[in-house]
Amino acid sequence: MTEVNPIVIETHNLSKNYDGVQALTNLNLKVRKNSIFGFLGPNGAGKTTTIKLLLGLINPTEGGGVIFDRNITRESIQVRQRVGYLPQNPEFYENMTARQILEFSLKFYYQGSHEAIQNRIEEILKLVELEDKANRPIKGYSGGERQRLGIGQSVIHKPDLLILDEPTASLDPIGRHSVLNLMTKLQEETTIFYSTHILDDVQRVSDTVAILNHGKLVAQGAIQELIAGKEGIIYTVKIKNASERIQKSLLKQQWITDIQSEISENAQKWYINISDEDQAEKNLLRLLLKDDNVSITEFYRKKYELEDIFLKVIEEDEDVSK
């Protein structure tokens, strides 16, 4: 499904150098329509720089990119016509109310009767749950309310692409939950490209991710592919009285590619690499229990979290850099 969707964002060797400091190097990104694309990386990895380049707020030193087939440098205004943006720490005119900010934002894109404008503002206020505070100056807003208003102003014109820079970074768990729910709701109507370093959020709502480190793209793909593709399927077995014979007989199976073992509390812990998921499900436990002396105290398929993948990819990149 994801593969057939057209590409919304595509960059080619996008690079940015700030007075001798290389912030981004040869970034080649592809973001498909209607995906929730998580743009991951540690602080200072170049996430915000990338977003600013996409929006034309800064100019690339090399390379370039297109959004909706429009050049991000030369046709930035046309690009921004179809994009909604939430900055990392949204700052608005403090004396204005949420209603005024939304009206101001809408009028960059649309004109219409007072009633039509107010109707759209009401829809957004309801979406971001700020109806009660719509007429209060923003200077009294909490971080979460400010963030929700930020999302509101970014979607007021029903953009085809929503770019969110660390949308949950400064929020408490309730605020985070509410923003992530909002993002899931919005996915039906738009493509969401968002940067974050909160891996739980990405695993919860994203379908595709890219990992950036020191300004370089170190991984990109669908989350499930990324997780599965990194180390393959591994079964963990805690086994007592295991003989070498069992290990040899296991390794004779074509669908078992490797076994690593370690001693753990008077038992052995085996990590069995599998190439065929179905064969493993049907036969692995049976093969292990063929020997009557063996007792098995743990048997499970190792589950990877995005965090494992993220840390591994970053560590590998750090090693290569050294």
Partner 1 sequence: MSQNEQLVPIKSKWNGFLNILFIELNDWWKGSDWLVMTLIWIGIGNGITALTALGAPDIDLPTMINIFFLFLGFFPPIATILVMQDSIVGEKRSGTISWLLSKPVSRRSFILAKWLGNSINLLTCIVLIPCIIGYLEFFLLTGELLSLSNYLAGIGIVTINQLFFIGLTLYLGTVMETPGGVAALPMIFNFAQQFLQSIPYAIYVLPMSLILNQTGNSIVVSIILNQTPFTLIPILTTSLFVILFLLLAIWKFENTDL
Q: Which of 1, 4, 77, 174 binds partner 1 (CB under 8 A)?
A: 77
CB of 256 to partner 1, least distance (A): 53
71 pairs with which residues across the strands? 66
Q: Which of 99, 120, 148, 176 binds partner 1 (CB under 8 A)?
A: 120
Q: Does 91 bind partner 1 (CB under 8 A)?
A: yes
Between 86 and 242, name the residue whose CB sits nearer to partner 1.
86
Q: Does 243 bind partner 1 (CB under 8 A)?
A: no
Between 49 and 220, name the residue whose CB sits nearer to partner 1.
49
For 6, phi then psi, to 5°, come to -65, 160
Q: Are 56 and 64 in contact (CB under 8 A)?
A: no
CB of 157 to partner 1, least distance (A): 9
CA atoms of 130 and 143, how far apart (whole Å): 13
CB of 176 to partner 1, least distance (A): 22
Q: Which of 43, 111, 293, 321 binds partner 1 (CB under 8 A)?
A: 111
Q: Does 239 bind partner 1 (CB under 8 A)?
A: no
Which residue in this structure is represented by tokens 């608005």?
92
**Size of the chain in residues:** 322
DSSP 222-241: EHHHHHHHHH-EEEEEEEES
Between 112 and 229, name the residue whose CB sits nearer to partner 1.
112
CA atoms of 154 and 240, how far apart (whole Å): 59
CA distances, 161 to each of 46, 218, 244 (Å): 20, 24, 57
CA atoms of 103 and 153, how far apart (whole Å): 9
CB of 108 to partner 1, least distance (A): 4
How many of the chain's residues bind partner 1 (CB under 8 A)? 36
Window contacting partner 1 (CB under 8 A); options: 87-95, 218-226, 277-285, 287-295:
87-95
CB of 57 to partner 1, least distance (A): 5
CA–centroid distance for 63 within its chain: 24
Q: Does 20 bind partner 1 (CB under 8 A)?
A: no
Q: Are 236 and 269 in contact (CB under 8 A)?
A: yes
Q: Does 108 bind partner 1 (CB under 8 A)?
A: yes
Q: Which of 107, 185, 245, 248 binds partner 1 (CB under 8 A)?
A: 107
Q: Does 78 bind partner 1 (CB under 8 A)?
A: yes
CA distances, 117 to each of 107, 186, 291 (Å): 9, 20, 76
Contact set for partner 1, span 25-64 (CB under 8 A): 52, 55-59
Angle made by CA atoms 51, 68, 183, in degrees to the nearest 5: 55
Q: Are 83 and 67 in contact (CB under 8 A)?
A: yes
Between 85 and 235, name the residue whose CB sits nearer to partner 1.
85
Relative orientation angle of helices 223-231 and 306-321, to the nearest 10 degrees: 60
Q: Does 300 bind partner 1 (CB under 8 A)?
A: no
Q: Are 17 and 26 in contact (CB under 8 A)?
A: no
CA atoms of 196 and 239, how far apart (whole Å): 40
Per-residue contact string for residues 169-208; x = within reach of partner 1 by CB under 8 A: ----------------------------------------
Chain residues that interact with partner 1, rule: CB under 8 A: 18, 52, 55-59, 77-78, 80-81, 83, 85, 87, 89-93, 95, 104-113, 115-117, 119-120, 123
